[in-house]
Amino acid sequence: MREETTTCCIAGGGPAGMMLGFLLARAGIDVIVLEKHADFLRDFRGDTIHPSTLELMHELGLLDEFLKLPHNKERQIVARFGEDEVTIADFSHLPVKAPYVAFMPQWDFLDFLADHGKAEPHFRLLVNAKAEGLIETGGRVAGVNVSTPEGPLTIKADLVVAADGRRSDLRAASGLSVNVLGAPMDVLWFRLSRQESDRNQTFGQVAGGRFFIMLNRGDYWQCAFIIPKGSLEALQATGLDAFKAGIVALSPFLADRMPELTDWDEVKLLSVAVDRMPRWWKPGFICIGDAAHTMSPIGGVGVNLAVQDAVAAANLLARPLREKRLGDADLAAVQARREFPAKVTQAIQIAIQNRVITPLLASKGPITPPLPLRLLNWFPILRRIPARLVGMGIRPEHIGPELKPVQPLR
């Protein structure tokens, strides 16, 4: 059995894990990040980089370099209900360096963090390394068992962080519980080509019990078709042609692109879940990001919440980890800092699910914007409220003094 030792071992190379690993290593703390795949290339991962995340890049001095990566800027969120178009949010008024949402493939974002992490002498990224179980000694988590192509690996660590997503293996291994809050919908993801004559803006279209969102990815549209929870089998029974006809009914300009969808295998199901752990930690172990609180795709805030968790954890844990005095109170402080934003965001998402999306999916007649959305057209200044909630989130985090870079090892 191979064995290694580090100060912090992070399971999961997503936004939460990579950001936390980079920040801790930058502050002089030995970190190993485990990524179970060989790379970050996965379709239909969340790829909205919110203004609050861009502001963190600015605080790290990396924003200009980051924005050299291919991306699209969205300064507004627009939705069409039947024939009525509503601008839901306007990010241009946010008091940040980059007041817009950057749509960027998540693998580019993660590669960027990984590259900067690897430049730090205290950072290691292990790919094809799957965290499979916790090592506990004297009532405290003391490490993690890892499966690698070279065989089993044991990593001893002062802290193990589960940032391995909504189906977290380490969360399950910890024995900590999860409260399922529920979601009435699922999302079907697929791609369609984008033409120069198409509009530039990311937008949503709602009509007659159908809810369709198109995200501008430059040369293609990343499309999300929202369906009632558990209804995929019934939808597939009607046939792919009927599904494509429903898309054209919402967005007629896509008719010439329907031949691009030739098989249901090209349509990927995201089973939407909303859940939250009552307690995120136990001695020597903590969950962050989707492992601690799975978000609905409403608002595309999952990446943002994960990054904010990572920054808060780094701010609060860097000194005790560096000084080898990590205690339960330090882990509890992370949850105390980030639980309120997660709860409020999920409460807003659930309210939108229950009061807006569920009635719209059940509707068979003409659709008009709900009154709260019509108010946004009548009083444009109100668009700043959803822009703040979506773009900055509840209690946005900042790079604290404990995360200043240390001098490289000599």
Cβ atoms of residues 271 and 265 within 8 Å: no
Question: Where along the chain do its domains lie?
Answer: 2-181+273-399, 185-228+230-270
Look up residue 356 and give its DSSP letter: I
Q: 220: which 2 tokens?
A: 């293609």
pLDDT of residue 110: 94
With 0.85 as the threshold, say if the pTM is over it.
Answer: yes
Q: 107: which 2 tokens?
A: 């693998």
The separation between the first and the last C-alpha atoms of the chain, rounded to the nearest angstrom, is 31
From CA 375, how far away is CA 236, in angstroms rounded?
A: 37
Please list the pLDDT of the chain residue by residue as tens digits (410 residues).
799 999 999 999 999 999 999 999 999 999 999 999 988 877 656 688 999 999 999 999 999 999 999 888 889 888 888 778 888 899 999 999 999 999 888 889 999 999 999 999 999 999 999 999 999 999 999 999 999 999 999 999 999 999 998 889 999 999 999 999 988 888 999 999 998 888 776 677 877 677 888 887 778 888 889 888 888 999 999 999 999 998 988 888 899 999 999 999 999 998 888 999 999 999 999 999 999 999 988 888 889 999 999 999 999 999 999 999 999 999 999 999 999 999 999 999 998 888 888 887 777 777 777 788 889 889 999 999 999 999 999 999 999 998 887 654 43
CATH fold of 2-181+273-399 reads: FAD/NAD(P)-binding domain (3.50.50)
Burial of residue 153, with CB atoms counted within 10 A of its CB: 0-12 exposed, 13-18 middle, 19 or more buried = buried
Q: 319: which 2 tokens?
A: 């000194």
From CA 29, how far away is CA 267, in angstroms rounded?
A: 42
pLDDT of residue 180: 92
Beta bridge partners of 87: 78
The DSSP secondary structure of 276-333, one letter per residue, reads E-S--EETTEEE-GGGTEEPPSGGG-HHHHHHHHHHHHHHHHHHHHHTT---HHHHHH
The residue count of the chain comes to 410
pLDDT of residue 371: 82
Q: Which CATH number fits domain 185-228+230-270: 3.40.50.300, 3.40.50.1100, 3.20.20.120, 3.30.9.100?
A: 3.30.9.100
From CA 326, how far away is CA 330, in angstroms rounded?
A: 7
